[in-house]
């Protein structure tokens, strides 16, 4: 039985946030099936302008693994109660939930990171983290594991987090094979965060 990975998309999400984990997980074609979903389904565009066709979340019930990308558009969708409600039930029933960049704010808005350590994009860290004071935000972390949650820092940190997840779930060998094919030098230390004190974006 393949694991179903539902990647929750929304208009304007950051392309690489989703595509990094999709590349790493989806490369395991015998173990994993990628499903691109959104609240209502249909065609939507990433922030960089890639049109992706999505299935309605209702048509992909109870995925094993949920992946949530971030981006500027996060700040809109995290205030949509219907979307957040759907994400909550999706994540609660899943085995694992992986967020990239400001994707962690969506899970935080659903109340699911309260009392847990987590991280997010460092170039908006000072602006966004005070909105969710019950989350134990870690500034210096490339990614953070807490129970079934893997939260990563900005954009490409999602690749490193996804490799760590593959190691945990499918083993070291699967990760190694993908890293050769992707010609990617895996960063295996989640606390090695070169960007924790980077300049803050004014949005």
Tokens 């129970």 locate to 147
**DSSP count for the chain of H helices, then E strands:** 7, 10
Integer Cα distance of 162 and 175 in angstroms: 9
Q: Residue from 8, 10, 13, 23 that binds its own copies (CB under 8 A)?
A: 23
Burial 32-61 (b: 16+ CB within 10 A, else e): bbbebbbbebeebebbeeeebebeebeebe
The verdict on 58 binding its own copies (CB under 8 A) reads no
**Applying CB under 8 A, which part among 45-53, 58-66, 90-98, 108-116 lies near its own copies?**
45-53
The verdict on 186 binding its own copies (CB under 8 A) reads no
**Applying CB under 8 A, which part among 25-33, 61-69, 105-113, 128-136 lies near its own copies?**
25-33
| Cα 81 from chain centre | 19
| Partner residues linked to 68 by β-bridges | 99
Q: Residue from 80, 117, 123, 140 that binds its own copies (CB under 8 A)?
A: 123
The verdict on 162 binding its own copies (CB under 8 A) reads no
Q: Which residues contact its own copies by CB under 8 A?
A: 14-16, 19-20, 22-23, 25-27, 29, 33-36, 43, 46-54, 121-123, 153-157, 159, 180-185, 194-195, 198-199, 201
């Amino acid at each position: 039985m393949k694991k179903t990975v539902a990647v929750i998309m929304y208009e304007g999400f950051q392309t690489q946030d989703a595509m990094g984990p999709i590349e790493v997980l989806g490369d395991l074609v015998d173990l994993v099936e990628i499903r691109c979903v959104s609240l209502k389904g249909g065609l939507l565009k990433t922030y960089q302008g890639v049109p992706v066709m999505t299935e309605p979340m209702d048509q992909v019930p109870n995925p094993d693994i949920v992946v949530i990308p971030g981006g500027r558009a996060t700040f809109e969708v995290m205030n949509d109660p219907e979307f957040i409600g759907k994400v909550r039930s999706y994540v609660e029933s899943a085995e694992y939930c992986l967020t990239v960049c400001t994707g962690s704010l969506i899970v935080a808005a659903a109340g699911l990171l309260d009392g847990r350590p987590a991280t997010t994009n460092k170039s908006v860290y000072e602006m966004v983290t005070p909105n969710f004071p019950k989350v134990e935000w870690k500034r210096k972390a490339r990614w953070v594991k807490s129970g079934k949650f893997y939260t990563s820092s900005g954009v490409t940190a999602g690749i490193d987090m996804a490799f760590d997840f593959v190691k945990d779930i499918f083993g070291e060998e699967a990760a190694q094979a993908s890293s050769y094919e992707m010609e990617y030098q895996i960063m295996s230390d989640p606390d090695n965060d070169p960007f924790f004190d980077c300049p803050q974006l004014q949005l």
